């Protein structure tokens, strides 16, 4: 590994841990917002995130210009990320935030699958095995049943799928030289526009406290988006994504101290399986890279 690549790798790790902290904060503020409809929360999360991203672009004097041929990839990234976000918000509203966070963090394993088809990044047998083991761990968190009670957990899994596809296209856009802040701003603007009709037709009045929580949700979301976009632009997801699982630690601490949430034993087993295989996969990838 060259000095330049090693530096990018280290920066990718720092960026992804910061993004995990921001997204855990986002989940906390989502829950603290209370009984505001999920789609309304999603709208304001992206509206405020768009403001933050736009101000950042203006201050950095970055031209609002999309690279040639990148618009279709930005649309796919935004659509898949938007679906993932809505499902994640629904899961956060109905599950312990640590449960919702670990299900959303199935995204790196979905990214292995999507990277094979989208980026032509080959995966070996161990990587495919890690995907299977991760989904076994997810079943401990989901605790599948045929009742409606299981719906939020399944929504959390779909949220992870959407995020995995979105981050795969973030990586593709990064490889094509697209500015990371353009990617964030485009996603925020796209989802805000798509959710505007629902807000107009189904707006639910909010208290001052709920407004504050939504503003903080948007700021935390913008921070998470900015840093994870920078992270995946610096290094491949399969090399640094393990550090994204630090969100579970942050979410568990926030849930315990602010929401009196304690995960049940099956969920903890699921956390151990998913994070454990993520660590094994990461160590395997580093060893494989050093031998190349």
Tell me which of 26-30, 66-70, 108-112 is least confident: 108-112
Report the pLDDT value the prediction gives residue 292, as an integer from 0 to 100: 60
Give the start-to-end residue ranges of the domains of the chain. Answer: 13-291
Residue 33: which of 211, 252, 220, 261 has the closest Cα? 211
Dihedral sign from CA coordinates of 137, 79, 225, 287: positive
Output 3 or 224, whichever has higher pLDDT: 224
- Read off the pTM: 0.84
User: What's the pLDDT score for residue 91?
Assistant: 95
Asked if the model's pLDDT at residue 1 lies above 60, the reply is no
Q: What token pair was written down for 60? A: 């950095």
pLDDT in tens, 240-256: 777 888 888 899 999 99
CB-CB contact of 112 with 174 (8 Å): no
Distances (CA, A) of 235 to 14, 124, 230: 12, 19, 9
Give the model's pLDDT for residue 29. 95
CA separation for the pair 252, 261 (Å, rounded): 8
pLDDT at 146: 57
């Amino acid at each position: 590994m060259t000095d330049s690549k090693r530096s990018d790798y280290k920066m990718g790790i720092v960026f992804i841990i910061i993004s995990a902290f921001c997204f855990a904060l986002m989940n906390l503020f989502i829950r603290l917002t209370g009984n505001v409809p999920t789609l309304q929360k999603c709208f304001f999360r992206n509206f405020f995130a768009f403001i933050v991203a736009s101000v950042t672009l203006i201050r950095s004097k970055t031209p609002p210009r999309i690279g040639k041929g990148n618009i279709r990839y930005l649309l796919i990234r935004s659509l898949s990320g938007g679906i993932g976000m809505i499902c994640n918000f629904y899961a956060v509203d109905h599950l312990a935030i640590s449960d919702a966070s670990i299900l959303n963090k199935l995204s790196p394993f979905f990214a292995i699958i999507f990277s094979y088809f989208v980026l032509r990044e080959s995966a070996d047998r161990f990587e495919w095995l890690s995907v299977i083991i991760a989904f076994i761990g997810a079943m401990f968190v989901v605790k599948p049943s045929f009742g409606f009670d299981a719906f939020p957990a399944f929504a959390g899994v779909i949220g992870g799928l959407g995020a995995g596809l979105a981050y795969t296209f973030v990586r593709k856009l990064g490889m094509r030289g697209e500015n990371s802040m353009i990617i964030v701003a485009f996603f925020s603007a796209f989802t805000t526009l798509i959710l505007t009709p629902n807000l107009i037709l189904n707006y639910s009045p909010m208290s001052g406290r709920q407004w504050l929580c939504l503003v903080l949700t948007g700021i935390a979301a913008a921070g998470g988006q900015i840093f994870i976009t920078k992270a995946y632009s610096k290094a491949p997801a399969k090399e640094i994504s393990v550090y994204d699982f630090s969100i579970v630690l942050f979410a568990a601490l926030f849930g315990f101290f602010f929401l009196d949430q304690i995960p049940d034993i099956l969920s903890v087993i699921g956390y151990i399986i998913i994070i454990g295989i993520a660590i094994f996969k990461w160590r395997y990838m580093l060893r494989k890279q050093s031998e190349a």
